[in-house]
Structure 1
Amino acid sequence: MAAFVGLCRVTLAVPGSTSLKDKRRVLRSILDRLRQRYALAVAEVGSQDAWQRADIAFACVSSEAGRCEAILAECVRWLETRSDIELLEVDTEIL
């Protein structure tokens, strides 16, 4: 049986952030929601010292490549609805 891994790396702007503490509060909300709602592995993977920028990655596993694509696309759509961030870059890959 084949297994597919969907991986998405997203660069975010957090324009309302005035400190790392502000950014962490916003990111904690995002990461927790992605973990709970979509059962993904999620982490901040870059720009840890920047106040208004964040790089996060999330991954899912499925027996169908199309299911991985659908889950990741739904997560990106959800991120686009948030008013406290802006998506700067999205890179998705199915392995």
Structure 2
Amino acid sequence: MVVGIGIIVFRLHDCRSLKGKRKVVKSVIAQIRNHFNVSAAEVGANDIWQRAEVGFSMVGNDRQVINSKIDKIFNMAESLGLAEIIDTEMEIINL
């Protein structure tokens, strides 16, 4: 079994409140969940308006497929154009 974990850190330039941030974060998470059928949630920087951390995970049986899907998620999140990506992290664990 292979577990893939990813974290994307966004900078939200136009957010002036937590309500504005929540709108952007919910949109990003919904897009990731719908396109790739993965578990995703906001995992950090909950009280900072201009910063969001979204984490996701997936399970499979092929390391190359998991790696490819994580790369596609990173590319899709950037192509959405809702926020600037300032950092990404990826970890793949073989169990």
TM-score (norm 1): 0.94
Runs of 4+ in 1 over 6 A off after TM superposition: none
Q: Identity rate of aligned residues, in percent?
A: 27
- Output the aligned Cα RMSD: 0.8
Please name the residue that 1:30 is paired with: 28
Q: Deviations over 1:1-34 (max 9, x none)?
A: xx10110011111111111000000010110111
The answer as to whether partners of 1:12 and 1:89 remain within 8 angstroms in 2 is yes
Aligned mates of 1:44, 1:87 — CA distance in 2: 14
Unmatched runs of 5 consecutive residues or more in structure 2: none
- Counterpart AA for 1:40: V
The answer as to whether partners of 2:32 and 2:77 remain within 8 angstroms in 1 is no
Please name the residue that 2:44 is paired with: 46
Please name the residue that 1:16 is paired with: 14
Please name the residue that 2:89 is paired with: 91
Q: Deviations over 1:46-82 (max 9, x none)?
A: 0000101011101111100111101110000011112
Report how many aligned residue pairs link the two structures: 93
The answer as to whether partners of 1:15 and 1:84 remain within 8 angstroms in 2 is no
The answer as to whether partners of 2:44 and 2:52 remain within 8 angstroms in 1 is yes
Aligned mates of 1:57, 1:16 — CA distance in 2: 22
Please name the residue that 2:70 is paired with: 72
